[in-house]
Amino acid sequence: MCGIVGIWDSRGTRAIDRQALLRMNESQHHRGPDETGVHLAPGVGLGHKRLSIIDLATGQQPLFNEDRSVVVVYNGEIYNYGELIPELQALGHVFHTRSDTEVIVHAWEAWGEACVERFRGMFAFALWDENRQTLFMARDRLGVKPLFYAQLPDGLWLFGSELKSLMTHPGLKREIDPRSVEDYFAVGYVPEPRTIFTSAMKLAPGHTLTLRRGQSAPAPRRYWDVRFTGTNRISAEEAQRELLERLKESVRLRMISEVPLGAFLSGGVDSSAVVALMAEQSKGPVKSCSIGFDDPAFNETEFAQQVADRYRTEHFVDRVETDDFDLIDTLASLYDEPYADSSAIPTYRVCQLARKHVTVALSGDGGDETFGGYRRYRMHLAEERMRSALPLGLRQPLFGLLGRVYPKADWAPRFVRAKSTFQALARDSVEAYFNTVSIVRDDMRGLLFTPEFRRKLGGYRAIDVFHEHAQRAGTDDPLSLIQYIDLQTYLVGDINTKVDRASMAHALETREPLMDHPLVEWMATLPSDLKLRGGEGKWLLKKTMEPHLPNDVLYRPKMGFAVPLSRWFRGPLRQRVRNALLDGELNRTGFFNRAYLEHMVDAHESGRRDYSWPMWTLLMFEAFLRVGGHAPAMASAAAAPAETVAA
């Protein structure tokens, strides 16, 4: 696992500023503290920070082909590289290392842009071909590894594994994109391909970007997409047998390592399944790592211990105080963009624990999206059954009126909040799901943002991202549709972002057996009733793992990996939140209605309303502005007059 950076001249062969390249590279030292590599040639500079995992002796980067006309910098793992090497050797390519990195340069020579279609794994890389005068960038299918890029006005291109590497370059403007702010407050992250800045982009999952010197830049090319067909009429018993074999293969491929390897073990179904299959294929005890909490409502360690005992893992547990909020500024500096998933705190801690014992850790990430495990999926399908009983033209006026007049009941469980249910029934499927996953919902964002900021949006709405993905999903099946949307948005922008930054902050490589793309493709061919059956999410995975895991682990209620925000904000963080929301950097942007901020703080502190999630989202945005020094870029947006808000 590594960090990559680069500067490329699209117009000619200007000398690349070596110091600028080194600053970019050094900003990602945490991603690869073992070795540093730099390549400079006319009009191109590449940098690499290495975390040594495979081919420790000869896998240094930048890495070249035989005549040094092709050079690559690469972050990730290509798990099928052992199969590709003899195939490429048969085509006449000569290998000088045992690394998966060298496969990339020879695969490019053999298959060109289509080389990525042959790779199985997680990767982000940039390759310079001197003979073709071509810069080729690629990102893996499910967006496990990140890649940022920017085109400067003078024709230079910048790229890197993290946005912070681009931010070290003086040519990058840090103008905040209002659309990204709208997206962030809706879902808690900035979805691909945008970043928080107008000047920088993310290469979207399953895309490549081919740039040729002297030619205008094309749009990124999609080389992979998942299709939810549901046409595989395999029996449940056959599906269980095939799933088990696919899971075993995926885990086995991700156990290839020349350094200490282990796994995260939360006590949930996904990580427990990974640990069980690792233990069954490992010659020695698996090293497993868990995080416990002092609050029983958030503590899953007893279930993790059951799995550790059953498979006799070498189990490590660290206990985190639920008041572990001192990480707020640390997280803001790690993520570079506003990022509002509070589970980043325990994720950071479990990565910190794991790195004391291993260099590579397997995780259970992606299981909910792949196998249909989120509780919100069950709620959405229940609502869909009700929506299907009446046409939208009747539902909108009827349930829209009821949703407006019915009293709000934030204190109640969601399934008995009639106001929320009425509002959901008045929407179409995509709008209803977007509303379900939104942190700050449409009506609240309307009150939160100033009229001046709303004018800057020019009619843009965060739901536009969901509509765009829904149009490409190619399925009318309700579960498949929202699984597809999650694979394109939440999995990439939230889950993968969280784990990549938290693990790389500790120079820890994480691997994702449940995001193996052949496994994801196969699961997408199965009918939805094999994923969610009788109100049980992940039905097929749980049935498959019954011989391997305790029922207490498989069928207990899902807990998640959360922190007690509501209690924090009425207790130890009360004054800090008040200061940040009312007297901090937020007020300098002109984006936010101060009267509504005051209402949120007062109502939450008094217990009248629970605004913990919107307040956390604001707190992390304020930390982004303050820690990153971005507030001055907001000064041009004059503060609009405060609006009044009814309590």
Angle 471-476-482 from CA coordinates, rounded to 5°: 70
Give the tokens for residue 364. Answer: 């259970």
Return d(Cα 151, Cα 153) in angstroms, integer: 7
Structure tokens at 564: 């007690």
- Residue 342 phi/psi, 5-degree rounding, is -70, -15
| Stretch (H or E) spanning 349 | helix 344-355
Q: Is 224 exposed, middle or buried (0-12, 13-18, 19+ CB in 10 A)?
A: middle
Q: Nearest Cα to 505, choosing from 162, 258, 266, 255?
A: 162
Q: Which amino acid is located at 65 in the chain?
A: N
Q: At 542, phi and psi to the nearest 5?
A: -65, -45
Q: What is the number of other CB atoms lying within 10 angstroms of the CB of residue 518?
A: 12
| Active-site residue, 115 included | no
Q: What is the dihedral of CA 280, 286, 291, 294, to 10 degrees?
A: 90
Sequence-ordered list of residues with C-beta below 8 angstroms from that of 214, at least 6 positions apart, any chain = 10, 11, 12, 133
Strand 221-222 and strand 70-78: the pairing is: unpaired
Query: What are the CA-CA distances from residue 154 to residues 9, 39, 147, 171, 218 (Å)?
Result: 9, 22, 21, 9, 17
Angle among Cα 133, 138, 143 to the nearest 5 degrees reads 165
Tell me, what amino acid is at 51? L
Cα atoms found within 13 Å of the Cα of residue 230, Cβ hemisphere only = 17
| Bond from prior residue into 170 cis (ω within 30 degrees of 0) | no
Strands 314-320 and 287-293: parallel
Instruction: Determine which one of 2, 115, 289, 351 is catalytic.
Output: 2
Q: Name the region of 118 (left: φ>0; alpha: ψ -120 to 50; beta: rest).
A: alpha
Of 39, 63, 59, 43, nearest to 51 (Cα)? Answer: 59
* Residues 511, 256: Cα–Cα separation, whole Å: 11
- Return phi, psi of residue 48, to 5°: -150, 135
Q: Return all residues near 466 (Cβ < 8 A) that are at least 6 apart.
A: 430, 433, 434, 485, 489
With 0-12 / 13-18 / 19 or more C-beta atoms within 10 angstroms meaning exposed / middle / buried, residue 174 is middle
How far apart are alpha carbons 172 and 156 in whole angstroms?
Answer: 10
Is 24 in contact with 158 (CB distance < 8 Å)?
yes
Q: Which pair of structure tokens corresponds to residue 429?
A: 């499927």
**Residue 200 region, left (φ>0) first, then alpha (ψ -120 to 50), else beta?**
beta
CB hemisphere CA count around 467 (13 angstroms): 7
3-state helix, strand, coil in the chain (%, to 5): 45, 15, 40
Q: CB of 624 within 8 A of CB of 337? A: yes
Joined together, the tokens standing for residue 311 give 């498979």
Q: How far is CA 586 from CA 579, 617, 622, 632, 634, in A?
A: 10, 12, 6, 11, 10
**Strands 509-511 and 360-362: what pairing?**
parallel
What residues act catalytically? Answer: 2
